[in-house]
């Protein structure tokens, strides 16, 4: 009744329970595409179940058996997903927050160490935002931050991660990206920011971005080393006059 891939997963869980001899608890999803003979029409989202799998202390037709009890947990699962999204999302910009960034960077560093997969990091903040806040109010400053977030969402790949690091500081993680390509992307992004944020200018004060760029290198002992280097490059960009990209 079940398609081969999903059936193989079920058999793996049964085997686990038989070998362990203790209760095995797993969450899984099922959709109409997993079941043979069902039409394509059906619920838009898969149904989530919690399986409680227990090896029994007797045999049936001389075969070891388990008791598999499945409970529909779709409502609970949806709530958990929403809560996780809220815990990882910056409320103002809708980008990810620092907690999500640190988790993703840790994974990227592990992939870099194990497989030498390149990964680049951009750190940037907004030039002159305080002057705009003081002149126009913090609600305009919030609009500037939201405009930056909108550009990030429109320009990044699905595999990239954009986070509000804190205040007016942002970090972008670019997996599978070499340092030269990251610098080119940062320059393009800086131009887009400048063009969009010009509408928030006050007299001769324009909101721009200073961007620091780096990539993971073998000398890095952790993702924190990469992040610190990006932070150093950012402040170099500020010291050199703002509205520029500096690599490290």
Burial state string for 114-148 with b = 16 or more CB within 10 A and e = fewer than 16: eeeebbbbbbbbbbbbebbbeeeeeeebebbbebb
Domain boundaries, the chain: 4-82, 90-247
Q: Looking at residue 34, what is its pLDDT?
A: 80
CATH of domain 90-247: 3.30.70.270
Choose, from 34, 104, 160, 168, the residue flagged as catalytic. 168
| pTM (2 d.p.) | 0.71
Please indicate whether residue 225 is annotated as part of the active site: no
Tens place of pLDDT per residue across the chain (248 aa): 888 888 999 999 999 999 998 899 999 998 877 877 776 666 667 889 999 999 998 989 889 999 999 999 988 888 887 777 777 889 899 999 998 999 999 999 999 999 999 999 999 999 988 888 877 888 888 999 999 999 999 999 999 999 999 889 999 999 999 999 999 999 999 999 999 988 887 777 888 999 999 999 999 999 999 999 999 999 999 999 999 999 98
What are the E-state strand segments in 12-136? 24-30, 47-60, 63-72, 119-127
């Amino acid at each position: 009744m079940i398609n081969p891939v999903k059936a193989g997963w079920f058999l793996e869980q049964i085997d686990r329970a038989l070998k362990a001899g203790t209760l095995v608890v797993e969450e899984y999803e099922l959709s109409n595409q997993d079941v043979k003979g069902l039409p394509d029409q059906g619920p838009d989202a898969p149904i989530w179940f919690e399986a409680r799998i227990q090896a029994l202390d007797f045999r049936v037709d001389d075969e070891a058996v388990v008791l598999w009890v499945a409970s529909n947990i779709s409502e609970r699962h949806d709530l958990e997903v929403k809560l996780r999204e809220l815990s990882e999302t910056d409320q103002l910009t809708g980008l990810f927050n620092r907690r999500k960034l640190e988790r993703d960077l840790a994974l990227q560093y592990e992939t870099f160490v194990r497989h030498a997969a390149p990964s680049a990091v951009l750190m940037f903040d907004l030039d002159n935002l305080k002057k705009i806040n003081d002149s126009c109010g913090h609600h305009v400053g919030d609009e500037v931050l939201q405009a930056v977030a909108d550009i990030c969402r429109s320009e990044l790949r699905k595999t990239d991660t954009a986070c509000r690091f804190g205040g007016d500081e942002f970090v972008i993680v670019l997996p599978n990206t070499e340092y030269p390509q990251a610098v080119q992307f940062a320059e393009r992004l800086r131009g887009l920011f400048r063009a969009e944020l010009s509408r928030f200018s006050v007299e001769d004060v324009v909101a721009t971005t200073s961007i620091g760029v780096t990539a993971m290198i073998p000398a890095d002992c952790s993702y924190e080393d990469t992040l610190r280097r990006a932070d150093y490059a950012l402040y170099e960009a500020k010291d050199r006059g703002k509205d520029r990209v500096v690599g490290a």
